[in-house]
Amino acid sequence: MQAILIRHDTKAWKAQVWISFFVATLVCATGLGWLPGRDLDRAFMMMGYLFCVSAAFALAKFVRDNERRARRACAPIAAIALAFACSASSRAQSTISDVSALSALPIAVSVAAPVDVLSAGAALTVVAVEATSTGAVWVLARASDGARASVRLVGRGVAGASIAAGTVVLASALSTGWVLSAAGQAICFIPNELGRSLLYNERITR
Amino acid sequence: MSVTTSTWRRLAAVALLAAATTAAHAGRSCEQKAPTARAVSRAMLLAEHTAARLTQSGANVVVIARAGQNLSEYGLRYSHLGFAYREGEGSAAVWRVVHKLNQCGTASASLYRQGLGEFFLDDLWEYEAAVVVLAPETQAHLRAALVDNALVARLDTPAYSMVAYPWSERYQQSNQWAIETLAMAEDPAASTRERAQAWLRLHDYQPTTLHLSALQRLGARIASANIAFDDHPNEKRFEGRIETVTVDSVFRWLERDGLGGPVQVIR
């Protein structure tokens, strides 16, 4: 399975980006304000700055869009974040029917539910994680009595990719299935029959 | 001299600030953020309630909308619509949504057929759905198109702008695809986008006018790949009057034109 590229900007990086942007803005604006010369010269300089800034934005956007285009083959749909389509390779997606019929949720979806081990509010520990061509298999152990079950997942979502052995997850019961979460973040949805009837994903046009 | 200098300084600051803030708002879509367990549970509950209400309504095809972002600044409640139709009969019936989705804030979009779960698990602003049941004949016409992938995609233009002009064929946003496809289903002669738009004009569809300043337009154009204004006629564009197809305007029109009933809100 192809390695999954998950990009998280760190807080420090975000701060640096903003700080450098504001410092650059401030320095330019100050320089412009005190630039000796006529107003017309300053107006010309400001126009130059604006052109430079907009050209830089356009270039950044162009680079970003082209990178997306290259990854389009496995790009997920709009606002739904990195869904299983992106974790599973596009080849796998088109050949494995039960995978493509399942959803493009931003979290992993279980295709085999260990209903007996899931009870409302149960705390479970991930004992083992195994990557497969379409997602992952997690072995879960219930904290109360050590009962084990394995969950076969398609996709990993975003948080699911960071799940390793030893993670404690909480099972919450919904009328449509179960949500497994770690620290409040949903990592996996296990639909029951009703939940399955509400999930479907098919891309009609390329 | 000092007056003009400070004016320039202020102008420069405003322009740069505008560029900075719009850049921060752009590209919300492909953010790789895991949903909270609460968000998943609320979305799935809304999907469940919606499916139950739709089945109860006895309808086969409805227009369905969600509130994906806060548009109250523009006097709008819902951000995106699609068509939901019933598949199968009796207790085995499920609802599928056909809609057009923009890919990760890029300049193109594709059509999808999804479950109600996916439709609502899209980082909603308000967990509520709005539904308009279409007139029986309209339902029958539209259903034939919705189950046929070639037919439903006939008027689809991949080039996407979030604020596409309703009477131009350069771009096409999601709600625009929906009403043009509705026109095609209602009148087989409306087989091109141009003709579908003519049909919409004939049936007095009136788009929403958004008022956007020059700075807002410049900022949005620079920072977002999925926003363009070059399809708008110059006289409206440079006055900041941006017309586009919104859910609220479609709902008003459907009822006025007798194509659909009143808006039902599902929570």
pLDDT in tens, A83-124: 322 332 232 332 223 333 344 566 677 766 666 667 666 788
Q: A14-35 burial, b if ≥16 CB within 10 A, otherwise e?
A: eeeeeeebeeebeebbeebeee
What was the pLDDT predicted at A114?
65
CB-CB contact of B194 with B130 (8 Å) = no
CB-CB contact of B235 with B262 (8 Å) = no
Q: How far A45 CA sits from the closest chain B CA (Å)?
A: 10
Backbone angles phi, psi at B39, to 5 degrees: -65, -40
Q: Which two tokens stand for residue B98?
A: 């056909």
Residues with Cβ < 8 Å from B135, sequence gap 6 or more? B258, B259, B260, B261
Q: Residue B69: closest CA among chain A residues belongs to which residue? A: A79
Residue B76 above 80 pLDDT? yes
Nearest to B117 among A39, A157, A198 (CB): A198
Q: Round the average pLDDT of chain B to a whole number and report it.
A: 84
The complex's ipTM? Answer: 0.78
Torsion of CA B53, B79, B126, B30, to 10 degrees: 110
Q: How far B116 CA sits from the closest chain A CA (Å)?
A: 5
Higher pLDDT, B264 or A148: B264
Please state at what angle helix B174-186 crosses helix B193-202, rounded to 10 degrees: 80
What was the pLDDT predicted at A86?
30
Measured between beta carbons, the chain B residues lying within 8 angstroms of A175 are: 44-45, 48
Residue among B46, B44, B140 at smallest CA distance from B86? B140
Higher pLDDT, B83 or B222: B83
Q: Which two tokens stand for residue B42?
A: 């609320």
Measured between beta carbons, the chain B residues lying within 8 angstroms of A204 are: 98, 110-113, 149, 152-153
Q: DSSP H helical segments within B58-189, as ranges?
A: 116-120, 136-146, 149-152, 174-186
Q: How far apart are CA A133 and CA A154, in angstroms?
A: 9
Largest CA distance in chain A: 81
Q: How far B17 CA sits from the closest chain A CA (Å)?
A: 9
What was the pLDDT predicted at A92?
30
Measured between beta carbons, the chain B residues lying within 8 angstroms of A202 are: 112-114
Q: Residue A30: closest CA among chain B residues belongs to which residue? A: B9
What was the pLDDT predicted at A177?
86
Q: How far apart are CA A147 and CA B4, in angstroms?
A: 77
Measured between beta carbons, the chain A residues lying within 8 angstroms of B5 are: 33, 39, 42
Q: How far apart are CA B107 and CA B160, in angstroms?
A: 5
Residue B90 above 90 pLDDT? no
Q: A125-140 burial, b if ≥16 CB within 10 A, otherwise e?
A: bbeebeeeebbbebbb
Measured between beta carbons, the chain A residues lying within 8 angstroms of B28 are: 79
Separation in Å, CA B165 to CA B72, B112, B136, B197: 21, 22, 30, 11
Interchain CB distance below 8 Å, B47 and A107 = no
| Pick from A53-57, A70-74, A115-119, B174-178: least confident | A70-74
Mean pLDDT, residues A33-45 taken together: 84
CB-CB contact of B101 with B109 (8 Å) = yes
Q: How far apart are CA B255 and CA B205, in angstroms?
A: 11
Interchain CB distance below 8 Å, B104 and A76 = yes
Largest CA distance in chain B: 79
* A residues 8-67 closer than 8 Å to B (CB): 8, 21-22, 25, 29, 32-33, 39, 42-43, 46, 49-50, 53-54, 57-58, 61, 65
pTM over 0.80: no
Q: Residue A107: closest CA among chain B residues belongs to which residue? A: B34
Residue B189: beta bridge partners? none
Residue A140: beta bridge partners? A126, A149
Residues with Cβ < 8 Å from A185, sequence gap 6 or more? A159, B34, B35, B36, B37
What was the pLDDT predicted at A74?
32
What was the pLDDT predicted at A112?
62
Amino acid, res. B132: V
Backbone angles phi, psi at B134, to 5 degrees: -80, 160
CB-CB contact of B50 with B116 (8 Å) = yes
Higher pLDDT, B260 or A135: B260
Q: What is the DSSP string of A98-134?
A: HHHHS---SEEEEEE--TTT--TT-EEEEEEEEE-SS
Q: How far apart are CA B200 and CA A18, in angstroms?
A: 46
